[in-house]
Amino acid sequence: MHHYDVIIVGAGIVGCSTAFALSKHGLSTLNIDALPSAGYGSTSASSAIIRPMYTHEVSACISHECRFIWQKWSDYLGLASEEPLAQYHECGGIMLLRDGELAERQSMMDAMASAGVTFNVIGDKDIEQRFPDIVLKGYGPPRAFDDPEFGMPSSGKITHAIVVDEAGYVNDPQLAARNLFLAAQNNGAVFQFRSAVQQIRQEADAFVIETDQGDFRGGKVINAAGPHSTKINKIAGVELDIELRAMRHEVAYMSNRVAHFEQGPCLIVDVDAGVYQRPDGNDMLIGTTDPDCDGKEVIDPDEVNMNLTSHWTRQAMRAAQRFPHYQIPNQARGTVGVYDVSTDWIPIYDRTELPNFYVAIGTSGNQFKNGPLVGEVMAEIVLKGDHDDAPAQLSLRHISKTIDLGFYSRHREVQQTRGVMA
Residue 261 and residue 378 share a domain = no
Q: Is the Cα torsion angle 119, 123, 126, 131 positive or negative in sign?
A: positive
Q: What string of DSSP letters covers 88-144?
A: EE---EEEEEETT-TGGGHHHHHHHHHHT--EEEEEHHHHHHH-TT---B--PSP--
| 168-170 and 88-89 beta bridge pairing | antiparallel
Residue 265 and residue 369 share a domain = no
Q: What angle do CA 246, 250, 254 make, to 5 degrees?
A: 165
Judge whether 348 and 359 are in contact, CB under 8 Å.
Answer: yes
Residue ending a domain, choose from 287, 321, 342: 342
Domain count, the chain: 2
Q: List CB contacts of 257: < 8 A, sequence separation 6 or more.
A: 282
- Which pLDDT does position 381 carry in this prediction? 97
Residue 363 and residue 328 share a domain = no
Residue 43 and residue 95 share a domain = no
Q: List CB contacts of 61: < 8 A, sequence separation 6 or more.
A: 111, 114, 115, 396, 399, 401, 403
Judge whether 350 and 381 are in contact, CB under 8 Å.
Answer: yes
Peptide bond into 279 cis (omega under 30): no
Residue 391 and residue 270 share a domain = no
Burial of residue 390, with CB atoms counted within 10 A of its CB: 0-12 exposed, 13-18 middle, 19 or more buried: exposed
Residue 77 and residue 136 share a domain = no
- Which pLDDT does position 1 carry in this prediction? 74
Q: List CB contacts of 296: < 8 A, sequence separation 6 or more.
A: 245, 247, 290, 341
Biggest alpha carbon distance in the chain?
A: 68
Separation CA 142–CA 291 (nearest Å): 7
Residue ending a domain, choose from 302, 323, 342: 342
Q: List CB contacts of 330: < 8 A, sequence separation 6 or more.
A: none
Residue 291 and residue 164 share a domain = yes
- Which pLDDT does position 224 carry in this prediction? 98
Q: What string of DSSP letters covers 284-325?
A: EEEEE---GGG---B--TTS---S--HHHHHHHHHHHHH-TT
Residue 27 and residue 165 share a domain = no
Residue 391 and residue 300 share a domain = no
- Which pLDDT does position 421 carry in this prediction? 64
Residue ranges making up the domain that contains 411 = 3-86+171-242+345-421
Q: What average pLDDT values come out for the chain (422 residues) when binned by 10 residues?
A: 94 98 98 97 95 96 98 94 94 96 95 98 97 95 92 94 98 97 97 97 93 96 97 97 94 86 92 95 93 92 94 94 90 94 94 97 92 97 93 97 97 77 63
Residue 307 and residue 273 share a domain = yes
Judge whether 110 and 171 are in contact, CB under 8 Å.
Answer: no
Residue ending a domain, choose from 342, 366, 400: 342
Q: What is the CATH number of the domain that holds 279?
A: 3.30.9.10
- Which pLDDT does position 257 carry in this prediction? 78
Residue 98 and residue 229 share a domain = no
Other beta carbons within 10 Å of 324: 12
Residue 212 and residue 105 share a domain = no
Whole-angstrom CA distances from 212 to 202, 215, 357 are 18, 8, 21
